[in-house]
A and B are shown apart, each in its own frame.
Chain A
Amino acid sequence: MISTTPGFTIAVDDPSVSPAVTVVRVEGRLEFGEAVAIWSEANRLLVSQTSARVDFDLSRVTSVDGAAMALLVHVRHRLQDTGKRSEFVGASPSVQDIVHLYEGDAHLPPRPKRKAESTLSQVGRGTMHVLEEGQLVFAFFGQMIISAIATIRAPRSANWKDVTPTMERTGADAVPIVLLINFLIGFVMAFQGAVQLKQFGANIFVADLVGASMTRELGPLMTAIIVCGRSGAAFAAELGSMKVSEEIDALRTMGFGAMRYLVLPRALALVLVMPVLTLLADFVGILGGLVVGLLSLDLTIAGYVLETRKALHPWDIYSGLIKSIVFALAIALIACQQGLATTGGAEGVGRRTTSSVVTILFSLILLDAGFTVLFHAFNL
């Protein structure tokens, strides 16, 4: 059983000579450049060894570098883990120095084997994690309420100067994308609806379909999704970066609570801009429907507008605005909570930003479903 590659040789003595002790004879120069060959040779020759003791005879090793020795030491540890005795023997003083440096002569305690976690346990752990995260968000919401009450009692303590720039970033800067997306949503919905309604000669009801859907559901929801992607992610990343660079701690030591100084201005700005963005979304969504009506359904502008006015009730718009305010609170709350919970440097910021967007999207759908059930229950 001899294996030779350029520069070194690893050979195992014939087991019939001495079945109790296997001697692995290593010769030549063991260098990093041949690490792959050393690794595969050592593992291949040792995989079938049944002796209670496996020694590595290094007496003919002329030189060895750190990487090669690290691999041999690892192989020795693996043998020890399986209950075998294993030593490096016969090394020259210079090679023995490297053996010692890499703890090849140390007797390490057996490494505890990690037990594979069962699927049920993983599901349980994941569920507990979700519940704990939910608990943290609710606790954060409670702190936000307390902080908001304290701010109402002492308005001078609020960080008002951050509200306007945040409104500009989250509101004014988002207008183009909100207009474009919602126009296309209205356009597509009208187009799909028209295909069906045409069959019954009910073209005009496209206006009802688009009007009601945009104001009650899609306007607030699509706007919230866009704001989540833009501002929610930005809040989480911004606060997360501040957290890992100790800026939040610095603010706290100067007497600025993160809730009062950072979270409330963002939440207030979103609550103020989201209804405006939602109204714009409603308008351009209906406009998208109108374009389809004009181009492919032979409707007139006056006819489409009249039908939309007949179909829409003030509550349709109000319900969308109520939703938008709750969505705004959810986005600000979750994004800021996730940002402030960031640990672990740049990687942690990325993880929390992703987590905040996913959690917000899930919460928006959940809240929207809740509103639908609630409004239906009260015949609204």
Chain B
Amino acid sequence: MTGDIMVRVAGLRVGWDDVVLQESATFDVARGDVFAILGGSGCGKSTLLRYLIGLEQPTEGTVFVTGIGAPLLEVGRPPFGVMFQSGALIGSMTVGENVGLPLHEWTDLPVDAVAAIVRAKLRLVGLPGVMDKLPSELSGGMKKRAAIARAMALEPNLIFLDEPSAGLDPVSACELDELILTLNRRLGLTVVVVTHELPSIFKIVSRCIMLDRESRSIIAAGDPRALRDDCSDPRVRRFFHRSSKEES
């Protein structure tokens, strides 16, 4: 694995039991990329993400993440951060406790220092003053921002985001996109994002792969703007131009 590759996936079978969503996914994520996994509903985007973050173990193929090899959870300090689609903040804890959770677990920092880092992370994601609120008191967009702050708590250089803009109003989605771009450009964070929100894709994504449900394979890879303008595959064109089979 070269130093410029953050994630390498080779021949990965994505699915469960007898259900195969992707037969042999192969792709690399380069350092500093905002890399998107695209595709229609049910093509296996979120399931593929579960393999990348170690929630599922491959039965065929391999996943390597720089610094740890195969992602195995619960064996030490996680080398990457994850933001789940719903935010997945622990409902019984305040936002501050949520963001501080990995810091308390994996560092010997005193409580004051953890609180200082938590405040800074929340300011970074545009959420000053919500430390003592419960997740239920936040809007959908705020929950996602807080989840990004939690994913960033241990200063990873790789972060996975599952449908960050889904369910958000256009303004909140745009602000979240700006945040992801800021983290990518200023902190050099590599971002792997699962999404099918076209405005977000064209705004933040530098490279992408597109999964197809029917062929159970990756049907396109590259810069999303180039794919939109130049790709001749009708499935890719339909996706980027938001057209149905009949229209195309």
Binding site for B on A (CB under 8 A): 241-242, 245-247, 249-257, 260
Write the chain B residue with the least CB distance to A257.
B74
Q: Are A245 and B105 in contact (CB under 8 A)?
A: no
Write the chain B residue with the least CB distance to A147.
B74
Q: Inside 8 A of B84's CB, which chain A residues have their CB?
A: 246, 249-250
A–B complex contacts, Cβ < 8 Å, 17 sampled: A242-B90, A242-B91, A246-B86, A247-B88, A247-B89, A249-B84, A250-B84, A250-B88, A250-B89, A250-B90, A251-B90, A252-B74, A253-B80, A254-B78, A255-B74, A255-B77, A255-B105
Q: Is B222 an interface residue (CB 8 A)?
A: no
Shortest distance from the beta carbon of A16 to any chain B beta carbon, whole Å: 45
Shortest distance from the beta carbon of B20 to any chain A beta carbon, whole Å: 20
Q: Inside 8 A of A252's CB, which chain B residues have their CB?
A: 54-55, 73-74
Encode B75-98 as 1/0 by CB contact (under 8 A) with A. Answer: 111101110111011110000000
Known: A246-B86, A250-B82. A255 touches B91 (CB 8 A): no
Shortest distance from the beta carbon of A235 to any chain B beta carbon, whole Å: 13
Compute how far the CA of A253 lies from the CA of B101 in the bound complex, rounded to whole angstroms: 12
Q: Inside 8 A of A254's CB, which chain B residues have their CB?
A: 78, 82, 101-102, 105, 150
Encode B191-219 as 1/0 by CB contact (under 8 A) with A. Answer: 00000000000000000000000000000
Q: Is B53 an interface residue (CB 8 A)?
A: yes
Could you say which of B54, B77, B88 contacts A246, with CB atoms under 8 Å apart? B88
Known: A246-B84, A250-B82, A250-B84. A255 touches B106 (CB 8 A): yes
Compute how far the CA of A257 lies from the CA of B73 in the bound complex, rounded to whole angstroms: 8
Compute how far the CA of A335 lies from the CA of B105 in the bound complex, rounded to whole angstroms: 26
Write the chain A residue with the least CB distance to B154.
A254
Compute how far the CA of A249 lies from the CA of B77 in the bound complex, rounded to whole angstroms: 15
Known: A254-B105, A255-B74. A247 touches B54 (CB 8 A): no
Shortest distance from the beta carbon of B192 to any chain A beta carbon, whole Å: 13
Compute how far the CA of A96 lies from the CA of B105 in the bound complex, rounded to whole angstroms: 66
Q: Are B105 and A256 in contact (CB under 8 A)?
A: yes
Q: Are A255 and B78 in contact (CB under 8 A)?
A: yes
Known: A255-B73, A257-B74. A249 touches B55 (CB 8 A): yes
Write the chain B residue with the least CB distance to A249.
B55
Compute how far the CA of A16 lies from the CA of B155 in the bound complex, rounded to whole angstroms: 84
Compute how far the CA of A260 lies from the CA of B85 in the bound complex, rounded to whole angstroms: 25
Write the chain B residue with the least CB distance to A255.
B78
Encode B21-62 as 1/0 by CB contact (under 8 A) with A. Answer: 000000000000000000000000000001001110000000
Compute how far the CA of A5 lies from the CA of B86 in the bound complex, rounded to whole angstroms: 52
Q: Inside 8 A of B77's CB, which chain A residues have their CB?
A: 255
Write the chain B residue with the least CB distance to A248.
B88
Shortest distance from the beta carbon of B72 to any chain A beta carbon, whole Å: 10
Shortest distance from the beta carbon of B56 to any chain A beta carbon, whole Å: 10
Shortest distance from the beta carbon of A322 to any chain B beta carbon, whole Å: 33
Compute how far the CA of A255 lies from the CA of B101 in the bound complex, rounded to whole angstroms: 10
Max chain B Cβ within 10 angstroms of own Cβ: one of A241, A250, A256, A260? A250
Could you say which of A245, A251, A253, A256 contacts B86, with CB atoms under 8 Å apart? A245
Write the chain A residue with the least CB distance to B75.
A255
Compute how far the CA of A93 lies from the CA of B235 in the bound complex, rounded to whole angstroms: 31
Shortest distance from the beta carbon of A256 to any chain B beta carbon, whole Å: 7
Compute how far the CA of A255 lies from the CA of B86 in the bound complex, rounded to whole angstroms: 19
Shortest distance from the beta carbon of A3 to any chain B beta carbon, whole Å: 38
Compute how far the CA of A61 lies from the CA of B73 in the bound complex, rounded to whole angstroms: 64
Q: Which of B172-186 contact A (CB under 8 A)?
A: none
Q: Inside 8 A of A250's CB, which chain B residues have their CB?
A: 82, 84, 88-90, 147, 150
Shortest distance from the beta carbon of B190 to any chain A beta carbon, whole Å: 16
Could you say which of A247, A253, A255 contacts B90, with CB atoms under 8 Å apart? A247
Could you say which of A242, A249, A253, A260 contacts B78, with CB atoms under 8 Å apart? A253
Write the chain B residue with the least CB distance to A162.
B92
Q: Inside 8 A of B53's CB, which chain A residues have their CB?
A: 253
Write the chain A residue with the least CB distance to B160.
A253
Q: Inside 8 A of B76's CB, which chain A residues have their CB?
A: 255
Q: Inside 8 A of A242's CB, which chain B residues have their CB?
A: 90-91
Q: Inside 8 A of B82's CB, which chain A residues have their CB?
A: 250, 253-254
Q: Inside 8 A of A257's CB, which chain B residues have their CB?
A: 73-74
Q: Are B105 and A253 in contact (CB under 8 A)?
A: no
